[in-house]
Amino acid sequence: MNIWTIGVNSFKRLMRSKILYVMAVFCLITIAYASLYGTLTAGQEGKLMKDVGLAGIAAFSILVAILVGSTVVAKEIESKTIQILLAKPVKKHEFLLGEFLAAALTILMMTAIMGVGFLIIVAIKGIATAALVNGVVLVFFEAILLASIAIFFSTFFSGMVASVFTFIIFVFGHLTYQLPFLVQRAGNVVVKFFGNLLYFALPNLQYFNIRGPVAHNLNVPGSMIFAVIVYGLLYSSIMILASALVFKSKDFA
């Protein structure tokens, strides 16, 4: 009950931020502009709109995830509000889970606004497909994963530093799929060891990127979508568990 109450209250506070809505509107304008540009590229309008649309939603959702995830806990610590909450019958892990719930609800709301707007635009153009919905769903779960990482870093650092580290993880997370090929070419045992360690430790965010197949109307199996969602939820759970363990040892008195 405490988790839900904290989550909902924090969610309401986060949704008062006008910058989130500005970002969502800007994303939709970008998608709409892609449709105008597409008319100048014969036969490429549908492909361009799908690619730009999913890329835009991914970019803004990830930005929201990093922004919200890195500050939702850090702000409570910096403003000393956490001392008031923990003075009540609220446990530290309940507070952390509540803030993660708030971040997840915020990401869901913003991704839904952009996703529905995008689907309406492509439906008007007559190029809407079920695969686009899958693309938006995976964007949401990638954003959730990044929010969990941002919350983990925020238990150590300020919101600004946590957001920088999370962005670095985001960049490397989209490059990890190349590590096995690089490791095979490495002759040094130490390089191979750390290469494999990074491969398994860092999130493989390329799993969530299906823009290419969707833009080219290629089928993405439902089993693959499900497996990626489970992967995202498991990784997020591990990060939140690690955050709770760190948070438990902190003294806010």
Is 70 exceeded by the pLDDT of residue 36? no
- Burial readout 32-63 (b: 16 or more C-beta within 10 A, e: otherwise): eebbeebeeeeeebbbbbbbbbbbbbbebbbb
Predicted local distance difference test score (pLDDT) of residue 157: 85
Query: Do residues 34 and 53 make contact, with C-beta atoms less than 8 angstroms apart?
Result: yes
Measured from the Cβ of residue 181, the count of other Cβ atoms closer than 10 Å reads: 8
Predicted local distance difference test score (pLDDT) of residue 186: 65
Query: Do residues 13 and 71 make contact, with C-beta atoms less than 8 angstroms apart?
Result: no
**Which helix (H) or strand (E) is 51 found in, with range?**
helix 45-71
pTM, two decimal places: 0.88
pLDDT tens track for 54-105? 888 898 899 999 999 998 887 877 767 777 777 677 788 888 898 899 999 9
pLDDT tens track for 118-143? 888 888 877 778 888 999 999 999 99
Distance between start and end Cα atoms, the chain: 24
159 vs 97 pLDDT, higher one: 97
